């Protein structure tokens, strides 16, 4: 079943969707915090970032790892892992513009890894 799901690119597409949603979350959160200070406490709660990172790691491990086993190319796995690493590093930064910037950079790198993985399997 996992073979069929990954053959259709479902996991990679879901991971790219999650990456996009993460980028939108970061941008929308920054704008809402600037406009509505009360919304900042909810949207920028560290637990949202930690849960999102756990989901990204899980989807990345499944999609990129399975893809590397299937097509044999390590580049998508390496690039996706770099993106996850940048996202993990961003969690340690203070909640200012730098955290948002590095999170979006990490999300973009991870999305690139998923895109390369999707292209390699199709």
Question: Residue 83 corresponds to which tokens in the numbers above?
Answer: 């993106």
Q: 54-108 pLDDT, tens per residue?
A: 888 888 888 888 889 989 999 999 999 999 999 888 888 887 778 888 888 998 9
Over residues 38-60, the mean pLDDT reads 74
Residue 29 has pLDDT above 70, yes or no: yes
Return the pLDDT at 93: 85
| pLDDT of amino acid 18 | 85
* Four-residue CA torsion sign, 47, 81, 60, 105: positive
Evaluate whether 83 touches 106 at the Cβ level (below 8 Å): yes
Percent of the chain with pLDDT over 70: 84
pLDDT tens digits for 11-24? 888 888 888 888 88
What pLDDT is stored for residue 58 in this prediction?
A: 84
Q: Which of 1-5, 14-18, 113-117 has the lowest mean pLDDT?
A: 1-5
Give the model's pLDDT for residue 62. 86
Q: Which of 45, 113, 119 is nearest to 85 (CA)?
A: 113
The reported pLDDT for the residue numbered 82 is 95
Whether the predicted pLDDT of 39 surpasses 70:
no
CA–CA dist 83, 8 (Å, integer): 23
């Amino acid at each position: 079943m996992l073979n069929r799901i990954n053959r259709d690119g479902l996991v990679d597409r879901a991971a790219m969707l999650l990456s996009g949603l993460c980028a939108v979350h970061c941008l929308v959160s920054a704008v809402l915090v600037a406009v509505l200070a009360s919304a900042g406490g909810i949207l920028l709660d560290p637990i949202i970032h930690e849960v999102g990172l756990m989901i990204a790691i899980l989807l990345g491990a499944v999609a990129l790892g399975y893809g590397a086993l299937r097509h044999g190319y390590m580049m998508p796995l390496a690039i996706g892992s770099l993106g996850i690493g940048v996202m993990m590093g961003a969690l340690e930064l203070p909640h200012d513009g730098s955290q948002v910037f590095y999170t979006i950079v990490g999300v973009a790198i991870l999305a690139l890894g998923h895109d390369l993985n999707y292209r390699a399997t199709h």
